[in-house]
Amino acid sequence: MRALFLFALFVTLAATACSGRAEDRGTQSTSPRTAPASSESTSTPGAVAREATPPVGGGPTGSASGPAEHDGARAMSHLRKLADEPRVSGTAAEQRGAEYIAEQLRAYGYTVEVMAFDFDTDPFRAGEVRVEGASIEAVTLAGSPGGKVRASSIYVGLADEVGIGGRDLGGRVAVADRGTLNFGAKYENVKAAGAIGLVVVNNRPGWFSGNLTTGATIPVVGVTQEEGRALVEAAKDGREVEIDAPPTAGPTGALNVIARAAAGARCTVLVGGHFDTVPSAPGANDNASGVANTLELARALAADGLDEGLCFAAFGAEESGLNGSKALVADLKSRGALPAYMVNLDVTGIGGQVEVIGTGPASQLALRLAKEAGIEAVPSRLPPNSGSDHQSFADAGVETVYFTSGDFSTIHSPEDVAAAIDQAMLDRIGDSALLTVKALLEEVAAG
């Protein structure tokens, strides 16, 4: 059977797709990190914090307007708003995304919680490289202490014996190409020659992250091939370069947004998807599409009154290892409040048919309902080493069903923009998910 879920074929390195869990020597990257500061949430190291916000203009009957059905145009409007910028975990852009999502859910009558959480499994600490006033986004390689340095630069090719050519790099920032040598060897070579910083330029389009596999003493960062070209030319001319990189050790803060029919209500069916992105990717398909569907489903299902037990979630830090969903699962599990079902929406805006991932009765139900509604839907599966937020719930024993649209050709890239999204596909996913969520709610109510 053909693998319909093709994350790994697009990613320019051996990494996970939507979960973006980069390993060590060159894997897909994600992002800048600054501590999330939200007026609605506080972050306690090693713990989960939340704040419940009363519904705005609503109550138990909700305040959503419009038809009680999924509207692709409304979902597309949310998608365009969210995909206006990359939403990397721990950044101000992530906070803006969370605030937008929370605002929409409140407007539909839900009680909204903004959950702040910390996580350590973050390969995507993003910093900056500056040359002649231009700023280039960079990712700190694991094992680097980060830091700030400014000095004349020098191009060293692959940072091997030929590239360094016996030159004294004392007090200079080395700029090297990715490839041939592992990152640790590149670092050791330029450090031995006296360099005070190292920038590695990707040898293929897009991002990467990497592990030096040793404790470095100078900042080492990676940049994309696209932006790195100008940096290589600057280094060949010996122009001044500045590295400003955060350390890769220590916790990072991120946000989840959760909506319930009422404060403290138990979630029996939870619908959601992640809203964070990798760096420099607007994340229209991955995953503003899934969040836009989630918001539109929340509106449609609230249009005729809020459903007891139905909850919605937008997860942060998925790209760094499913951290947002893991945090929510841990919190719910600690209170004995795990849902009966979790419906995941991730990469739902480009493709030829609805793809349903899952092997349980809920997934079979989703396929049957889609067929009865005249929607082309097929069973699918994840390839090895890739994942999405449904896994956190499945690992805790919750039955899951995952809707996706099957085309991952633009994810984790600057080409992942709203203009590439197929509104009709977005709507088909939404229609299928709506049928499934309604049926699951009826099943839970029937006991």
Give the model confidence (pLDDT) of 116-135 as tens digits. Answer: 999 876 666 778 999 988 99
pTM: 0.73
Give the model confidence (pLDDT) of 208-222 as tens digits. Answer: 767 786 778 999 999
106 and 188 housed in the same domain: no
Euclidean distance between CA atoms 368 and 155, whole angstroms: 59
Task: Indicate the pairing of strand 173-177 with strand 197-201.
Answer: parallel
Whether residue 383 is contained in a domain is answered as yes
pLDDT score at 249: 66
204 and 297 housed in the same domain: no
Enumerate residues 6+ apart whose C-beta is below 8 A from 306: 58, 60, 61, 62, 109, 110, 261, 262
- Looking at every residue in the chain, the average pLDDT score rounds to 85
Give the model confidence (pLDDT) of 392-446 as tens digits. Answer: 999 999 999 999 998 988 888 889 999 999 999 999 999 999 999 999 999 999 9
Round to the nearest angstrom and report the end-to-end CA distance of the chain.
36
213 and 263 housed in the same domain: no
In the predicted model, residues of the chain with pLDDT beneath 50 are 1-61
CB atoms within 10 A of CB 231: 24
Find the CATH number of the domain harbouring 219: 3.50.30.30
Euclidean distance between CA atoms 423 and 320, whole angstroms: 28
221, 245, 269 — which closes off a domain? 245
Whether residue 13 is contained in a domain is answered as yes
Whether residue 161 is contained in a domain is answered as yes
222, 245, 268 — which closes off a domain? 245
273 and 398 housed in the same domain: yes
203 and 115 housed in the same domain: no
Q: Is the dihedral of CA 312, 317, 320, 324 positive or negative?
A: negative
> Tokens 């990497």 belong to which residue?
210
Find the CATH number of the domain harbouring 359: 3.40.630.10
Whether residue 114 is contained in a domain is answered as yes
Counting the structural domains of the chain, the total is 2
Q: Which two tokens stand for residue 291?
A: 């969040």
Whether residue 1 is contained in a domain is answered as no
Euclidean distance between CA atoms 410 and 17, whole angstroms: 11
Nearest residue to 435 via CA among 349, 367, 383 = 367
Whether residue 404 is contained in a domain is answered as yes
18 and 139 housed in the same domain: no
pLDDT score at 384: 59
Euclidean distance between CA atoms 141 and 145, whole angstroms: 9
Whether residue 290 is contained in a domain is answered as yes
Adjacent-strand bridge partners of 257: 114, 314
227 and 165 housed in the same domain: yes
pLDDT score at 51: 45
245, 276, 308 — which closes off a domain? 245
Instruction: Note down the domain range covering 187.
Output: 126-245
Enumerate residues 6+ apart whose C-beta is below 8 A from 406: 4, 5, 6, 347, 351, 352, 353, 355, 380
Number of helices (H), then strands (E), in the chain: 11, 19
268 and 182 housed in the same domain: no
300 and 412 housed in the same domain: yes
113 and 156 housed in the same domain: no
181 and 108 housed in the same domain: no
261 and 408 housed in the same domain: yes
Whether residue 184 is contained in a domain is answered as yes
